[in-house]
Structure 1
Amino acid sequence: MKSQDETLEEWCRLLLRAFELEDLQVDVNEVLSLAGVAAHSVVRPAAPLTTFIAGFAAGLASGSGQASDATSMKSALDVARTVSKAYSADAAGEDSALPAAGTSAGSPSPTGTSPTGTPGE
């Protein structure tokens, strides 16, 4: 019987193949970690929504040539994690600011673009 980690890695490879993205490297643990942060910082259903939007943003940045796949994914995951934590702090009444456009976790984006990687932002 396969472990959960083996099943997730196999599932990830299968999905990547289905989308013809076999060359893409996905850090399953980082994606799951982000999902956990979103679920605990916002509400549980925020987990899939957050990971989808982060993936979409990474795809836009990478597909437009703004950054490499790895850089786009890291930046998108970092921004989503930062925003999730800031949301939680804000909901708790703590003083925390969301990252400004063009920043990732409080530092400049590696591409100099918005954290979403969306052209024109």
Structure 2
Amino acid sequence: MTADRDPLPPEALDEWSAALADALHLEPADIRTALVLDLARDVAHGVARPAAPLSAFLAGLAAGKTGGDAASVDAAIRTTVALAADWAEH
């Protein structure tokens, strides 16, 4: 995406995320697009832009290792966002 284009809304990613979910053998209903995009935004602004995709991956990895259910995903995202907020105060 170039800098002069507006960012895509989360629903614009539906086709991609559905295709990726299928390829990864995940349930499309389990994909939390808005939460992950919010996490990426918060980390990019509070830590550094390159930390956003890494943080999203690590939060997903942690969620998978702790059960992979919605509560695990929410907990991993909350932890990541909280750390990014604290990190911004460094």
The structure, 1 or 2, with the larger RCO (C-alpha pairs under 8 Å, 6+ apart) is: 2
More helix by share: 2
Report if aligned partners of 2:43, 2:49 keep a CA contact under 8 Å in 1: yes
Q: Secondary structure at the match of 1:62?
A: coil
TM-score by length of 1: 0.63
Q: Which runs of 5+ in 1 are unaligned?
A: 64-68, 92-121
> Structure 1 stretches (4+) deviating beyond 2 angstroms?
3-7
- Answer with 1 or 2: which has the greater Rg: 1
Partner of 1:79: 79
Aligned residues: 83
Q: 2:60 aligns with which of 55, 66, 70?
A: 55
Q: Identity over the aligned pairs, expressed in percent?
A: 39
- Give the root-mean-square deviation of aligned CA atoms: 1.6
TM-score by length of 2: 0.83
Q: Which runs of 5+ in 2 are unaligned?
A: 1-7
Could you tell me how far apart the structure 1 residues matched to 2:9 and 2:83 are?
Answer: 28
Partner of 2:24: 19
